Structure 1
Amino acid sequence: MKSTLLTKPLTKAHVEEIAGQFEMPDLTLPFWGYRKKMPMHRIVRLEGEGNYTVFHFADGSQLMVSLTLKKMESRLSSKVFVRPHKKNIINLLYLEGIHPDQQQLSVSLINGHRVEVSRRKASRFIKQVKGFQQELVTLSDFRTNSRLAA
């Protein structure tokens, strides 16, 4: 079935600009003997692999940490990150399209990844996407009005 594009995907400049508006602080991740801060807004997707989580970043790099996806979910901004499936969390700033199929709903991200949405979570996921997009429109209107007033 044909892809349904909800809105135009955001450019890197828009992601950087919007990230500050969505309370997305740096994420401190544990490594062998030290901790490292990573910019939360540059995370495209998190993928659960047992007791590990693989981070997929906007620049194409990946990073594995020894924390479960459930633990990582509690550290992320719930306004921007959603969990469409038990193995994945996606950043809505990088959402490209939603693809309905007769059996399975999936989403595509601007880095080319495609993630399935579980049937149980599909309606909640769609509500979260619509709420996020409404907030983007509100932010866009606010920025436009601020520029006009200046």
Structure 2
Amino acid sequence: MNLPIQTNFLYSPKRFNRERSTIIYLERGKTEIYIEEILMCKGEGNYTFVHYKNGEKHLFSKTLKQFCELFEAYDFLRISRSVLINLKYLKAFNTVEELSVIMINEQKIDIARRRKAQFQDTIRKFSKK
């Protein structure tokens, strides 16, 4: 697939600190999530699938909005109504023609038109880090 890529962020295989984790409390207990291993979150109504960089995914009975609030201090960005991505695993993006991102697992995800300006702003800040 030949997309005109505006900017390319390559995945850096540096070691992440596994101590940066968060605990999500569910109705029947708690689940520990290592934030550095989350690739993206996809909302499905009142549930959210958390996709990890190793290909696994888990279903949580929390909304995507709750995950956005939980991960707001980290490098996550909501790019559409149902998708929250980890910017550290962003491989490439296109904001010229079809508004999309490509993650390190080669998955292409569309960016909502209304979130384009916020996406570009966040990418500028993120690339300066």
Is TM more than 0.5 here?
Answer: yes
Offset, 1:113:
1.7
| TM-score using structure 1 length | 0.76
Provide the residue aligned with 2:5 in structure 1.
4
Q: Which has the larger radius of gyration?
A: 1
Structure 1 pair 49–100 and aligned structure 2 pair: CA distance change class (3 A): same
Distance in 2 between residues matched to 1:40 and 1:79, nearest whole Å:
8
Residues 37-66 of structure 1: CA deviation (Å, up to 9, x unaligned): 111011000000010000000111000100
Structure 1 pair 30–79 and aligned structure 2 pair: CA distance change class (3 A): closer
Identity %, equivalent residues: 23
Residues 70-128 of structure 1: CA deviation (Å, up to 9, x unaligned): 011100044400011110000000000012453x3000000122111111110110110
Provide the residue aligned with 1:39 in structure 2.
34
Higher helix share: 1
Offset, 1:29:
2.3
Contact 1:79 1:132 in 2 (8 A): no
Distance in 2 between residues matched to 1:15 and 1:92, nearest whole Å:
16
- How many residues end up aligned between the 2 structures? 128
Q: Secondary structure at the match of 1:111?
A: coil
Q: Secondary structure at the match of 2:102?
A: strand
Following TM superposition, the consecutive aligned residue runs of length 4 or more in structure 1 with deviations greater than 2 angstroms are: 5-8, 29-32, 99-102
Extract unaligned runs of 5+ from structure 2: none
Distance in 1 between residues matched to 2:77 and 2:45, nearest whole Å:
19
Extract unaligned runs of 5+ from structure 1: 136-150
Higher strand share: 2
